[in-house]
Homo-oligomer: A and B are copies of this chain.
Amino acid sequence: MKTYAKRDFPVEQIRRYLEPGPVVLVSSAWKGRDNIMTMGWHTVMEFTPSLVGCVIAESNDSFGMIRKSGECVINIPTADMIDTVVGIGNCDGGDTDKFERFGLGRAKAAKVGAPLIRECFASLECKVADTRLVDRYNFFIFEVVKAHVAPSPKYPKTLHYHGQGVFTADDGRAVSRRRLFTKLKDSPVF
């Protein structure tokens, strides 16, 4: 997979990449371990401070790492990473080094302990800013404290999820990866 040389990007402008609703990869770290999860339920909430709200289910290993460390990195993959994105969302971080398993590279963040993912064109370093809706909805509000974005392409093609294993890339085609989902058979809504 291609890696990106990223540059500093103004945190108050990260809506350019998150507002269109891409599937993202959230990296986290705690006590010498790290993890990655696939996440699709997020929204920009404010420009300054740069706030992003996200649902991170308690059943994810990442939930505990983020809760305890108070930090994470939101990495945005391009559409060609679809199989990596689905694979990460369908294996358990408890017994897998996902960076190794999926051939991803770590880069050191500036302000948080979680690693940036080299193969994603944008990485947003986040600190937990508000937890008052975590117990009820698993809803975290993060402040983006540092943003790293590849200067080109300006509008990378990203993945958008519709449920049932179906994504659209930015070319408008609906693509199913249902066969790679381990849990879909149990849930009509997943």
Residues of chain B within 8 A of A20, CB atoms compared: 21, 160-162, 168
Name the prevailing secondary structure of the A interface residues: mixed
A107 interface contact, C-beta 8 A: no
A128 interface contact, C-beta 8 A: no
Q: How large is the interface on A (under 10, 10 to 19, 20 to 34, 35 or more residues)?
A: 35 or more
Question: Please, how many angstroms separate the alpha-carbon atoms of A44 and B160 in the complex?
Answer: 13
A31 interface contact, C-beta 8 A: no
A46 interface contact, C-beta 8 A: yes
Contact with B along A15-52 (1 / 0, CB 8 A): 11101111000000000000000001111111110010
Question: Please, how many angstroms separate the alpha-carbon atoms of A160 and B174 in the complex?
Answer: 16
Contact B168 A45 (CB under 8 A): no
Closest Cβ–Cβ distance, residue A190 to chain B (whole Å): 8
Question: Which candidate, A63-71, A89-97, A98-106, A131-139, is the interface stretch facing chain B?
Answer: A131-139
Contact A171 B168 (CB under 8 A): no
Contact B174 A154 (CB under 8 A): yes
A163 interface contact, C-beta 8 A: yes
Residues of chain B within 8 A of A22, CB atoms compared: 21
A60 interface contact, C-beta 8 A: no
Which of B47, B154, B155 contacts A189 (CB under 8 A)?
Answer: B47
Residues of chain B within 8 A of A164, CB atoms compared: 16
Select from chain B the residue with minimum beta-carbon distance to A12: B189
A157 interface contact, C-beta 8 A: yes
Residues of chain B within 8 A of A42, CB atoms compared: 43
Residues of A121-156 at the interface with B, using a CB-CB cut-off of 8 Å, are: 130, 132-133, 136-137, 139, 141, 154-155
